[in-house]
Amino acid sequence: MELPLETVALFALKLAYEREGESPILRDDPIMSDYEREVFGLLVRRGDVEGIQFRVGHCVGLALEALGGVDTPLGRELDRLVVDFGDARTMEQLEAPVIALRDYLKDIQ
């Protein structure tokens, strides 16, 4: 599950910070230091659902702002997916929402 979590963070931060004509944000970029696979791996091993939701929520919140908030069609859909992600209470319940977030963020890049 670590890779999809890292990918969600990467795509969200790309939406928030990456600008046309500038260097792309990559997995080894310093902005990703708190969102690396190893960080998520530790949270997953601990079963820290709230910690995972906090980190992902922060990144996705930045992306939501970049999309214009919940008043835009893309923002409304992202918000709906974030709510589903936030409703999870177990590691197993996180799997489907994190995949949905990853796929959506990838599609709107």
Predicted pLDDT at 22: 84
d(CA 4, CA 20): 25
Predicted pLDDT at 106: 96
Predicted pLDDT at 35: 94
Predicted pLDDT at 109: 85
Inter-helix orientation angle 37-46/49-66, to 10°: 140
Across 17-38, b (16+ Cβ under 10 Å) vs e yields ebeeeeeebeeebebbeebbbe
Residues 6 or more apart from 14 whose CB is under 8 A from it? 24, 25, 109
Q: Which of 54, 72, 56 is nearest to 108 (CA)?
A: 72
Predicted pLDDT at 80: 97
Q: What is the mean pLDDT of each run of 10 residues along the chain (109 residues)?
A: 96 93 89 94 96 96 96 96 96 96 95
Task: State residue 108 phi and psi, 5-degree precision.
Answer: -95, 5
pTM greater than 0.85: yes
